[in-house]
Chains A and B, each alone.
Chain A
């Protein structure tokens, strides 16, 4: 680097640049949080959805599955599983059957544990997944398979 470009100038670019862009980031984040209520489906968060999210967390579902693309990539995406597995008409029935059938014990197949949830808990988790599927996330995923 040329001698005319001094360490002091580099330092000023570092401090000035990072503070400037961090401010922009904070401003955009603030604006985003103002815009989110019209997209994130928060008006439909019921107590059941809230309990469902908690169950999602304390059973570490994210350790195998992804939820809207984030998480582990070992098991299917669940952000849109409500639509993939029956929707309004059939999801809850499918889901209850599925949870109770675990572990499937098919030799060599990736195996989901049984988390010993009761009917109420399974219903809460289903409500959480239904709510999640109704978030407006810029049309992701590209197709129903997630």
Chain B
């Protein structure tokens, strides 16, 4: 029995399921890398660190993209009050994207990277070998095609339906995502220019247009679970994303401090990125405020927990941990240290992994024909998953921050000649890395609990 308002929303389900499968893969490779940090030669022949890292980060990006796409296919028809323009196209694109993703990951794992570059004719248009943009050029083209089809499908749906603020903001975010990805195809010989425009993808995604996507999804879920007036929620949404873009666009400057760029970026980057935590703080106030002012008791307690959790963790990870090292005089010492890694982990988990799990939590019971919410037992299991993963991530972040502070103290602050070398410093950080790995294992338990909650049923007497 279907519990969907619009039948075509069902195309979101494979996207969500596949996203979660990739998420499991991401964490597995994270654990391998975490171990290689302390047992350096662990699997060094079979899965060298660079391969494991590429798989870990690329799986993250791809599962979040699947999550965003699933979210859009689920919420756009509901908001537009019309069926999706072409469910068939959505399913075709799912299979193309899934096949391209799996083939790319297998390519990373099965052949040396340089062989993969050769097979995929990287010579013709070299775009590979840059952090997060390691995909073969042909895969990048595939991503563009999938995005265009996806945007076309959504655009046609919105054109024939109701144009709500949530839909417009989500579309702006998704179009921005596609447009800024095009900079991935620009790889000049001059490393300085390469890096400058590489940030147009990386920063303008995660500290720009992805925040629009996150804001739109959160607003949608909040309307649904609280029953608060749309006008109020959409007003907050605009205020938050206005702050996010006003601070985040010029905040890109915090990546231009050490890059053959003029000194004014030290000021522009420091000032504007110091404002970047504000929209995240506003998001916390807003999520709690809306839930306190709720007009209905939604039976899906787990989704409510995720919605509050993503706001809080995004504020801590992206806002607080970002601010920690964003001012140029601080960044001079912390740039490219374990502090960066600490921030990256909590920010991605809090803002993006959790927003995707928020809407999965909200939508899945409907997509599976269960109804408004899973049974109580399943929700309790899901909430175990939430707390184990979230607390584990807090500890991963704290341990990496400890490692980072010590690294900066030993390796960066002393003068040349007195500073410890990179490798000697790493030896001193071992205890933090072991603790981080232990927290990573707890995270994996949390993920298993979360995934298993999809199979939990009410006890029959």
Contacts and interface: CB of A to CB of B under 8 A. Distances in A.
B260 A58 contact: no
A89 B147 CA distance: 51
A24 B250 contact: yes
Interface in B21-52: 33, 36-37, 39-41, 44, 48-51
B424 to A, nearest CB: 9
B103 interface: no
B265 A145 contact: no
A54 B117 CA distance: 11
Contacts, number: 226
A96 interface: no
Contact of A1 (B48, B51, B236): B236
B336 A69 contact: yes
Contacts of B250: 21, 24-25, 28
B39 A108 contact: yes
B420 A70 contact: no
Given A1-B236, A56-B129, A142-B412, A50 B189 contact: yes
B419 A74 contact: no
B40 A108 contact: yes
Interface string A127-139: 0000010011110
B341 A35 contact: no
A124 interface: no
Contacts of A135: 191-192, 260
Contact of B341 (A73, A113, A136, A145): A73
Nearest to B168: A11
Given A1-B236, A143-B416, A71 B113 contact: no
B258 A68 contact: yes
Given A58-B117, A138-B257, A107 B41 contact: yes
A145 B36 contact: no
A23 to B, nearest CB: 10
Interface residues of A, number: 73
Main secondary structure of the interface of B (DSSP, over half): helix
A22 interface: yes
B119 to A, nearest CB: 11
A69 B325 CA distance: 13
Interface in A42-63: 42, 45, 49-50, 53-54, 56-63
Given A7-B238, A11-B238, A13-B239, A71 B131 contact: yes
Interface in A8-31: 10-11, 13-14, 17-18, 21-22, 24-25, 28-29, 31
Contacts of B460: none
Interface string A113-131: 1010000000000000000
Given A7-B231, A7-B235, A42-B190, A111 B44 contact: yes
Interface stretch (B240-248, B293-301, B377-385, B438-446): B240-248
A63 B245 contact: no
A145 B165 contact: no
B422 interface: yes
B336 A35 contact: no
A40 B41 contact: no
Contacts of A36: 192-193, 196, 260-261
B188 to A, nearest CB: 10
Given A18-B249, A21-B246, A77 B53 contact: no
A126 to B, nearest CB: 15
A62 B196 contact: no
Interface of B: 33, 36-37, 39-41, 44, 48-51, 53-54, 113-114, 117-118, 122, 126, 128-131, 134, 165, 187, 189-193, 195-196, 231-232, 234-236, 238-239, 241-242, 245-246, 249-250, 252-253, 256-266, 268, 332-333, 335-338, 340-341, 411-417, 419-423, 425-426
5 contacts: A14-B245, A58-B114, A64-B48, A108-B39, A132-B191
The 8 closest A-B CB pairs, nearest first, are A63-B50, A57-B129, A69-B336, A110-B40, A10-B238, A40-B192, A140-B258, A40-B260
